[in-house]
Copies of this chain bind each other. A is one copy, B any other.
Amino acid sequence: MKQNITTILTLAVALVSAALASAQTNDPLPSWNEGTAKQSIIQFVEDVSTAGGSRYVPTAERIAAFDNDGTLWPEQPLYVQLAFVIDRVKAVAPRHPDWKEKQPFRAVLAGDLKTVLAGGEQALLELVMATHAGTTTEEFSQIVEDWLATAEHPRTGRPYTEMAYQPMLELLAYLRDNGFKTYIVSGGGIEFMRPWAERVYGVPPEQVIGSSIKTEFQLRDGTPLLVRLPEINFIDDKAGKPVAINQHIGRRPIAAFGNSDGDLQMLQWVAGGRGPRFCLYVHHTDAEREWAYDRHSSIGRLDKGLDEAEEKGWTVVDMKRDWKVVFSFEK
């Protein structure tokens, strides 16, 4: 009898597991809680991909633009690229003995981030140039890869590339499964993102747009090289985002995803086109699993954008309420 009950229970468990697994595979966004955010995404994707429907959009025009920092992965306690800059300054400091006495390098070497940030944009620019220029494009790509292989996020101790938001990874894949071309449009460095964006986000190099420094073509002993120069080429933030989208893509995306006022112009540009449009803000509301910040944050401030999202009926994701998990390693 006991044997029979065990068999029946085992069977029942197997059946329930199978049913659950099946339900899960049918849900394109399993890490999203049911609610208006998830519903609005699915409604939009079904609308534009239903042939013959009134809101159908041809595949070629299904372009989606994603901010990166704070939208696809964390930007707290500081931008990942800034952590890279700090580590790079330390790594190459032996070749620059003058940095011991020279700000902002001295502050970086002393671990005094407060002084670095007090130096404002100029200090950051100097640090970026000292760490991002002077190599070939291929050398820089390798430096980024090498750094990512060992660097750890200060709070989780995880490699940064494991810290992509699981619900956003599902969203990227869901869009692509429905014929969308997914782009990254970030204030971060284009050459800082390209080495890993395909592996982590499934976004190939040609669909990564970001800030850049100038490069120069050189023939060195007959070998063609692109050398990175200490000169800003383009800042892909705020009003720069629609400009860069036009320059790189040449058509207006029908969907945009951001998390800060730096993404507002991109969302406005996308919303201003004809036909179905989708704009979404990720609102950082989860101090426990991630961070909670918006109107008064120096990193990733979301103030005007939050007002405009409400006014225009854009989707706002409440990270705490809408996401079952934030990172895949929670699962």
With the chains together, A272 CA to B60 CA distance in Å? Answer: 33
Chain A interface, number of residues (Cβ within 8 angstroms): 36
Question: A205 touches which one: B204, B240, B242, B249 (CB < 8 A)?
Answer: B249
B-facing mask of A108-135, CB < 8 A → 1, else 0?
0000000000000000000000000000
Task: List B contacts of A224 (CB < 8 A).
Answer: 242, 265, 268-269, 271-272
Given A226-B243, A265-B224, A250:B206 Cβ within 8 A? yes
- Copies of this chain, complex-wide, total 2
Output the nearest chain B residue to A214 by Cβ-Cβ distance: B243
Contact B219 A243 (CB under 8 A): no
Task: List B contacts of A248 (CB < 8 A).
Answer: 206, 248
Task: List B contacts of A190 (CB < 8 A).
Answer: 247, 250
With the chains together, A194 CA to B265 CA distance in Å? Answer: 23
What's the minimum C-beta distance from A275 to chain B, rounded to whole angstroms? 14
Output the nearest chain B residue to A141 by Cβ-Cβ distance: B250
Contact B215 A246 (CB under 8 A): yes
Given A217-B239, A219-B268, A239-B217, A226:B208 Cβ within 8 A? no
With the chains together, A219 CA to B271 CA distance in Å? Answer: 12
What's the minimum C-beta distance from A112 to chain B, rounded to whole angstroms? 35
Taking each of A181, A224, A249, which has the highest tally of chain B beta carbons within 10 Å of its own beta carbon? Answer: A224
B-facing mask of A241-259, CB < 8 A → 1, else 0?
0110011111100000000
Q: State whether the Cβ of A54 lies closer than 8 Å to any Cβ in chain B.
A: no
With the chains together, A90 CA to B151 CA distance in Å? Answer: 61
What's the minimum C-beta distance from A254 to chain B, rounded to whole angstroms? 14
Contact A137 B246 (CB under 8 A): yes
Output the nearest chain B residue to A241 by Cβ-Cβ distance: B217
Output the nearest chain B residue to A242 by Cβ-Cβ distance: B217
With the chains together, A63 CA to B242 CA distance in Å? Answer: 26
With the chains together, A233 CA to B244 CA distance in Å? Answer: 12
Contact A242 B226 (CB under 8 A): yes
Contact A226 B246 (CB under 8 A): yes
What's the minimum C-beta distance from A63 to chain B, rounded to whole angstroms? 8
Task: List B contacts of A43 (CB < 8 A).
Answer: none
From residue 193 to 224 of chain A, which have CB atoms closer than 8 A to chain B? 194, 204-206, 208, 212, 214-217, 219, 223-224
Question: A206 touches which one: B205, B239, B249 (CB < 8 A)?
Answer: B249
With the chains together, A237 CA to B292 CA distance in Å? Answer: 48
Question: A217 touches which one: B137, B181, B265 (CB < 8 A)?
Answer: B265
16 A-B pairs with CB atoms under 8 Å apart are A63-B206, A137-B246, A181-B206, A190-B247, A214-B243, A215-B243, A215-B247, A216-B243, A217-B269, A224-B242, A224-B265, A224-B268, A224-B271, A226-B242, A226-B243, A226-B246
Q: Which residues of A contact B (CB under 8 A)?
A: 60, 63, 137, 181, 190-191, 194, 204-206, 208, 212, 214-217, 219, 223-224, 226, 233, 239-240, 242-243, 246-251, 265, 268-269, 271-272
